[in-house]
A = this chain, B = another copy of it.
Amino acid sequence: MRIGVDVMGGDHGPQVLIEGAALGLQANSTITELCLVGDQVQIEAGLARAQCRDRRIRIVHASEVLTMEDDPRSAVRKKKDCSMARAIDLVQERRTEAVISPGNTGGLVAAASYKLGRLDSVERPAIATMIPTGQSQFVLLDGGATPECKPLHLLQFAVMGHVYAREMLGRKQPRVGILSNGSEEMKGTEVTREALRLCKEVDLNFLGYVEGRDIFEDKVDVVVTDGFVGNIVLKTVEGMGTGFTRLLKRALTANPLRQLGAALAKGAFRSIKHKMDPEEHGGAPLLGLNGNVIKVHGSARQQQVKNAITQTCTALQHKITEQIQTAVAQANQRAARLIEPAAASASA
């Protein structure tokens, strides 16, 4: 397997990405080549500092970096030699089979969509994010690639999420639900109601609507929503987690008695931190494109980069992209029967 890592766009600079990549390489003997894409001088210095001399590493120089300030829509055209674009080029040129990047999400979606194109069967890409619940985890998609969706897009997200959860979480029959404001079928929006109708017709373990309070109850493996709602939910969960941790820390250090109590119970906090830690879950793939693209968090550190590499190897072994192409094509066929008469009667 050949994998490319854009080491430049992270919040903590290239060193953590380089070290994470080196750990990932150590842990995965199936990798035959790992391309580190970015400033050659910095990468060479970083590898020396990490004492990494693995011969499977190639450095691919790129002179620019896409930052959070760059407008994702024009970035690819303006910064042709940025590390993210170069890393995607490697996939396009079949020099690597997957790209991992910590950079600007909007830029990654735009550049990867433009350079790799979508799978024949898929109309819009979706970011599949794994969310830990403490007891278990679920896949939410779309996390922000396609803010406004048609019903068919949501159907395709459901099928992509099904394949991803089956192969990556090992669920035999992943439970799939559409996120809504109530469980009754009359709830939701025009788009979700039509998506509900379509999802019932395809070969999924489909629960219908799920609500915000169900998703932390281990009732569902794949939560389907548009990229607008998905992104809001992701960031709300992230924000609430950070806020709650801060609150807990402040309360537990407010006086010596509480500090002592917290010290005695520290194993409990550590176990929760471990269970809830997004670092454990590596990256979030951008599904539906003609190539494997994995977004890691901008603030990702070594361990998360390593996990993202391992996850990418698993995804390649399981041929996720190929399986998505086939499964979505099948779902489209079934859905076509439902969509056409409805469209015909609507225009009549």
Contact = CB atoms under 8 A, between A and B. Distances in A.
Interface string A214-254: 11110000000101110111111111111110111001101
A208 to B, nearest CB: 15
A217 to B, nearest CB: 7
A212 interface: yes
A272 B245 CA distance: 11
A257 B264 contact: yes
Contacts of A182: 106, 231
A117 interface: no
A340 to B, nearest CB: 25
A265 interface: yes
Interface in A130-157: 133-135, 144, 147-148
A173 interface: no
A233 B230 CA distance: 10
A275 interface: yes
Interface in A189-216: 189-190, 211-216
Contacts of A240: 216, 237, 240-241
Interface in A5-61: none
A114 interface: no
B243 A133 contact: yes
A269 B251 contact: yes
Contacts of A211: 232, 235, 239
A216 to B, nearest CB: 4
A181 interface: yes
A325 interface: no
A267 interface: yes
Interface string A175-196: 0000111100011111000000
Given A236-B236, A242-B216, A261 B265 contact: yes
A213 B236 contact: yes
Given A213-B242, A239-B216, A231 B181 contact: yes
A215 B228 contact: no
B258 A267 contact: yes
Nearest to A247: B134
A263 interface: yes
A211 B250 CA distance: 24
Given A228-B181, A261-B263, A268-B252, A233 B233 contact: yes
Contacts of A258: 264-265, 267-268
Contacts of A336: none
Contact of A215 (B71, B186, B236, B266): B236
14 contacts: A135-B247, A144-B181, A148-B190, A181-B232, A182-B231, A211-B239, A212-B233, A213-B239, A229-B232, A244-B244, A251-B272, A260-B265, A262-B265, A265-B265
Interface of A: 71, 73, 106, 133-135, 144, 147-148, 179-182, 186-190, 211-217, 225, 227-229, 231-244, 246-248, 251-252, 254-255, 257-258, 260-269, 271-272, 275-276
Q: Please provide the 8 A-B residue pairs with the shortest distance between their CB atoms, ordered closest to farther.
A: A261-B265, A212-B235, A261-B264, A212-B236, A213-B239, A216-B243, A251-B268, A181-B231
